[in-house]
């Protein structure tokens, strides 16, 4: 008799919990919905915050949007790859309303010391960011190694090396979609 009461209470608990647990709790296929892209909010925000116009022709809009979010919101790439990062009167670190230097956006030229100048990572004439193929770009992001084997100094690749494959691809696609700017790197 005691076992019956325990079973009845367990069933009562299941019935009460089912609405809270949601559609996956039962086995009814009509209740199942396709999951929304978990990056949807970051994609849309990325497309909104890009300080420069984007060329989406032949590109995956979602990857470009996610890449913009990663470059402009999470990774602060412009801080090292835009010289200077803000136009006069637009430096938020001086209490001014932020105005990014779009004329030099990601074109490099930030001096870090003898022989250390940030590279231009805007698309080259072939459309490759900084002239790098995706494989080269991925190596920079994952290993911090240049073509000759030298370690990239200043570049925070140790923080970026564990990004997902999709995130690395998204950054690359965003950099392919931004305007090309001639290099100022010596």
pLDDT at 15 over 80: no
Same-domain status, 103 and 13: no
- Quote the mean pLDDT of the chain: 86
Rounded mean pLDDT, 1-30: 46
Taking 70 as the threshold, does the pLDDT of residue 8 lie above it? Answer: no
Q: Is 167 exposed, middle or buried (0-12, 13-18, 19+ CB in 10 A)?
A: buried
- Domain membership of residue 155 as a residue range: 40-177
**183 within a domain of the structure (yes/no):** no
Task: Determine which helix (DSSP H) or strand (DSSP E) holds 173, and give its type and residue range.
Answer: helix 165-177
pLDDT of 152 above 50: yes
Which tokens is 54 given? 């984007």
CB-CB neighbours of 122 under 10 Å = 23
Q: Are 65 and 43 in contact (CB under 8 A)?
A: yes
Tens digits of residue pLDDT in 165-175: 999 999 999 99
Contacts of 38 (CB under 8 A, 6+ apart): none
Report if residue 157 sits inside a domain. yes
d(CA 116, CA 32): 54
Predicted pLDDT at 115 = 87
Q: Is the pLDDT of residue 89 over 50?
A: yes
CB proximity list for 109: less than 8 A, separation 6 or greater: 83, 117, 118, 120, 183, 184, 185
Query: What confidence score (pLDDT) does residue 131 get?
Result: 96
Inside any domain, residue 79: yes
Residue 184 lies in a domain: no
Query: Would you state the pLDDT for residue 38?
Result: 85
d(CA 139, CA 154): 16
Q: Which of 140, 135, 137, 118 is nearest to 175 (CA)?
A: 137
Give pLDDT, residue 177: 98
Q: What is the pLDDT of residue 41?
A: 96
Residue 174 and residue 169: Cα distance in Å, rounded? 9
pLDDT at 33: 59
Backbone torsions φ then ψ of 70, nearest 5 degrees: -65, -40
Position 12 pLDDT exceeds 90: no
- 139 & 82 share domain: yes
Asked if residue 22 and residue 78 are part of one domain, the reply reads: no
- Model confidence band, residue 24 (pLDDT cutoffs 50, 70, 90): very low
Which pTM does this prediction carry?
0.79
Q: What domain count does the chain have? A: 2
The rounded percent of the chain whose pLDDT value lies above 90 is: 74
Could you tell me the two tokens for 152?
Answer: 């990239």
pLDDT tens digits, residue range 28-81? 454 555 567 789 999 999 999 999 999 999 999 999 999 999 999 999 999 999
């Amino acid at each position: 008799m005691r076992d019956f009461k325990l079973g009845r209470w367990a069933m009562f608990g299941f019935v009460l919990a089912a609405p809270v647990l949601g559609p996956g709790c039962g086995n009814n296929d009509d209740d199942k919905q396709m999951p929304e892209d978990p990056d949807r909010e970051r994609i849309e925000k990325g497309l909104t915050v890009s300080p420069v116009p984007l060329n989406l022709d032949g590109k995956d809009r979602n990857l470009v949007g996610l890449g913009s979010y990663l470059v402009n919101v999470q990774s602060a790439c412009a801080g090292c790859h835009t010289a200077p990062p803000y136009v006069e009167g637009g430096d938020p670190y001086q209490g001014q309303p932020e105005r990014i230097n779009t004329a030099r956006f990601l074109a490099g030229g930030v001096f870090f010391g003898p022989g250390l100048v940030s590279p231009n990572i805007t698309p080259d004439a072939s459309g490759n960011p900084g002239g790098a193929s995706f494989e080269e770009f991925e190596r920079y992001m994952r290993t911090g190694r240049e073509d000759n084997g030298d370690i990239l100094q200043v570049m925070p690749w140790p923080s970026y090396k564990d990004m997902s494959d999709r995130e690395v691809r998204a950054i690359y696609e965003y950099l392919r979609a931004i305007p090309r700017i001639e290099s100022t790197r010596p």
